[in-house]
Structures are given as structure tokens and as C-alpha cells.
């Protein structure tokens, strides 16, 4: 491992050792460590505050001597929760290296990218007099919480962003799009009564909800109509909650669903499907109160156009350093790229290190993949902005 790669690994280990579970751990410590690292390298960034003065991220910017496009390298500093600690081989914040793999929560998503991008910022800052345009670095500390405070604060203060490259892990391809999501809570009603009553039980909310869940599991979603997008829509029942005791017939049950959207199966079609199924359920069970649907947040699916120059360049540079084809692909999980697409901002949502156990116990990254990822992004930015 050369000195640069060793420095990247050391900084990543420092970050992994700081617990930063989204919505659980406060971001103050990890943002301070990142800010201190930049200051120690004579790079002056800033900790981002949202409208409620919460610390939500860190930003650094290199402005060239000539006007030009603005690009951004983005990675998150917060992580998924640790989960069941008994399933971890090494403690989630141990940052242990074992057989060439760096372990720890956030090693893949996305503290290694924070470290790689930080070192790219250090290198590019020495050449800013050759830049035509601006390169920004955003490290979001409020992504896994679902609030997206970092990216929302960042884009609010930016007039024009020509492209964002997100350092999510994985190098089987450059990810240029993702399925969206549609989420809803469906409240099914029944009539409460004593379970020992001599009257027949005809309005059990859980039994009614169970039929709904069965019907949802059997629904036929349209197959993919666009070969370019590659993926199908998907429906998952994520929770069912109801009942208050052994002697009471439940009068309410709540079913939560998550639907993954494609360009051809959007939120409108998802909404129509759910409404139709709820109407049929109410027709079968003539209860005193109709089924209610509470709509949660929804993001559309997105895919970058073929004319997206920086995505093509990133894939080309990746192929050059990896010495193999790096296709442009679509991913299943939604991400910051979906949100940016609603603002008209183009984003690649993945090219990064080789990893295992993403969002799972024993999350880890292959150290041998770090150098090629750093080279790819550095070369791409230089070709986009150097005069």
C-alpha cells in the first residue's frame, strides 16, 4: 500500500471509530474530526447548519480562476444502525483490518468515500489556478435519518449544479439511475367486542387486514417495459400492527407498504392500485368505517439521459483504471440521486470500492479497491474542469 492509500485508510479508520448512526448518534464529533482534518491541511471548509441550526454536513469548495461548470463529489458521514451486535465478527466501530478487508459500520456506506474525496480535495486544491469552474465536496451527516438535511442545505445555497457524483460503494458499474419509492399506511377498521360474546364476530380488523396483505402479495405488477431501465417495480408489505389484548376483537389494524417505482410505473399508478384494492376490500367487508390511506413521502424513479457527459466520462475513466468494461447500470434502492432528480440536478449514484455486507452485520471493504476508485474520480474531475 502506497503512502496515499495508507493515509486514506487511516482517515477512514478514524471516521469508522466514531459512531454516527443516522437518527441515533449526534453528528457533532464526526463533523468536527472532518473539519479538523481539512484545517490541518490548510483547507477551509464549513460545517453546514439547517434552518433549525442543526449540524447536518460539511462542505468544501475549490473555485477555479475562470468561470465554468460546477460539479460536486458527495458522500454521507452517517450510517445505518448497528443492528444485532452478536452477529458482528468485530465490533461495528472497531475499524479492524483483517485479511485485506476493513471492517466497521460505515466502512462501505460511505466513510471510505469521505476519506477518498477528502484526499482528492487536498490534491486538487494545489491546482485550482488551472481550474475552469468549481468542484464542491459535500459530506452529508443527515442522510440515513431520512431527513436529508445535508444535501437540502447544500443545494439551497447553490444556484447551478451541473452534476453530482455520489460515492456509494460498488464498482460493477457506474450507476446512472434508481427505482423510486411510494410509501403508504393503510388503516383497516373493524368493530370491537368481547371475544367471548355469543354474537358472531364479523368485523375483525386483523382478519380484514390479513386478506389485504394476502391480496397485496399476489398482485401482478407490470413487467419492465423499458429495457434501458432494466428493473421491475416491486411491492413489499413492511409491517402490520393491530390488536390490544386477548379478550378484545381488534377494531383497527395498520398495514405499511413500500412500492418501488419505475418510469413506467409511477406514483400515480401505485396510488390507483392501492385505492382499487382498498375499495374491493371495503366491498367485501361492510364495516362501519371505510379503509383509510395515509400517504408518506414518495420519490420518482430516475435515469440519466444518454447525453450526460460526466456520467459517460466517469464510466470511461473507471474502465481505463480497472482495465475492464464498466457499464452504466440502474440500482434497486432509491438514494440521494432520486431526490436530486426532482430538482433537475443530474447525479450518478454509485461508483466506489468493493464491499461486502452493505447495511448488514460485518460490513467491510476491500482495501485493494481504494486506489483505483480514487484515481477514477480524480482523473474525471481533472478532465471536466482543468483548463
Domain ranges of the chain: 3-178+301-385, 180-297
Per-residue burial over 170-192, b if 16 or more Cβ lie within 10 Å, else e, is bbebbbbbbbbbbbbbbbbbbee
Judge if 3-178+301-385 and 180-297 fold alike in CATH terms: no
Supply 249's cell numbers: 376483537
Q: Phi/psi of residue 64, each to 5°?
A: -75, 175
What pLDDT does residue 227 have? 72
- Residues ≥6 apart with Cβ < 8 Å to 159: none
> Locate cell 482517515: which residue?
11
* 3.30.200.20, 3.40.630.10, 3.40.50.1980, 3.40.50.720: CATH of 3-178+301-385: 3.40.630.10
Write the DSSP symbol of residue 26.
Answer: -
Cβ proximity of 75 and 141 under 8 Å: no
What pLDDT does residue 244 have? 87
Q: What is the CATH number of domain 180-297?
A: 3.30.70.360
What pLDDT does residue 224 have? 65
Cβ proximity of 6 and 53 under 8 Å: no
Cβ proximity of 300 and 196 under 8 Å: no
Q: pTM (2 decimals)?
A: 0.91
Q: How many CA atoms lie within 13 A of 164 on its CB side?
A: 28
Successive 10-residue mean pLDDT values, the chain, 387 residues: 89 98 96 98 97 96 93 98 97 98 98 98 92 96 92 90 97 96 95 85 87 92 75 94 90 95 93 94 84 93 95 98 96 94 96 96 98 97 91
What pLDDT does residue 198 have? 81
Supply 175's cell numbers: 450507476
Cβ proximity of 178 and 232 under 8 Å: no
Using DSSP's 3-state secondary structure scheme, residue 27 falls into coil
Helices and strands in the chain, H and E counts: 9, 17
Amino acid at each position: 500500500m502506497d503512502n496515499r492509500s495508507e493515509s486514506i485508510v487511516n482517515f477512514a479508520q478514524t471516521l469508522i471509530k466514531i459512531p454516527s448512526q443516522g437518527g441515533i448518534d449526534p453528528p457533532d464529533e464526526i463533523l468536527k474530526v472532518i473539519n479538523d482534518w481539512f484545517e490541518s491541511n490548510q483547507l477551509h471548509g464549513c460545517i453546514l447548519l439547517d434552518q433549525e441550526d442543526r449540524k447536518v454536513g460539511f462542505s468544501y469548495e475549490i473555485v477555479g480562476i475562470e468561470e465554468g461548470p460546477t460539479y460536486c463529489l458527495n458522500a454521507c458521514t452517517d450510517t445505518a444502525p448497528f443492528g444485532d451486535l452478536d452477529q458482528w465478527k468485530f465490533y461495528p466501530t472497531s475499524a479492524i483490518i483483517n485479511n485485506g478487508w476493513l471492517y466497521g459500520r460505515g466502512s462501505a456506506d460511505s466513510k471510505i468515500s469521505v476519506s477518498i474525496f477528502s484526499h482528492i480535495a487536498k490534491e486538487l486544491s494545489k491546482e485550482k489556478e488551472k481550474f475552469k469552474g468549481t468542484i464542491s465536496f459535500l459530506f452529508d451527516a443527515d442522510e440515513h435519518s431520512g431527513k436529508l438535511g445535508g444535501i437540502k442545505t447544500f443545494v439551497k445555497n447553490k444556484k447551478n449544479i451541473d452534476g453530482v457524483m455520489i460515492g456509494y460503494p460498488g464498482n460493477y458499474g457506474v450507476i446512472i439511475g434508481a427505482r423510486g419509492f411510494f410509501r403508504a399506511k393503510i388503516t383497516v377498521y373493524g368493530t370491537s367486542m368481547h371475544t367471548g360474546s355469543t354474537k358472531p364476530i364479523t368485523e375483525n380488523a386483523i382478519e380484514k387486514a390479513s386478506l389485504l396483505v394476502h391480496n397485496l402479495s399476489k398482485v401482478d405488477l407490470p413487467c419492465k417495459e423499458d429495457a434501458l431501465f432494466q428493473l421491475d417495480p416491486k411491492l413489499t408489505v413492511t409491517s402490520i400492527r393491530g390488536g390490544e389484548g386477548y379478550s378484545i376483537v381488534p377494531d383497527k389494524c395498520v398495514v405499511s407498504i413500500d412500492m418501488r417505482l419505475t418510469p413506467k410505473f409511477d406514483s400515480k399508478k401505485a396510488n390507483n392500485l392501492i385505492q382499487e384494492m382498498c375499495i374491493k376490500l371495503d366491498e367485501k367487508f361492510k364495516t362501519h368505517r371505510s379503509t383509510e390511506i395515509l400517504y408518506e413521502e414518495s420519490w420518482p424513479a430516475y435515469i440519466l439521459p444518454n447525453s450526460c457527459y460526466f456520467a459517460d466520462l466517469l464510466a470511461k475513466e473507471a474502465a481505463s483504471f480497472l482495465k475492464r468494461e464498466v457499464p452504466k447500470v440502474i440500482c434497486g434502492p432509491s438514494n440521494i440521486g432520486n431526490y436530486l432528480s426532482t430538482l433537475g440536478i443530474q447525479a450518478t449514484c454509485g461508483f466506489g470500492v468493493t464491499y461486502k455486507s452493505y447495511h448488514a452485520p460485518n460490513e467491510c471493504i476491500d482495501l485493494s479497491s481504494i486506489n483505483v476508485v480514487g484515481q477514477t474520480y480524480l482523473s474525471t474531475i481533472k478532465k471536466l474542469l482543468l483548463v
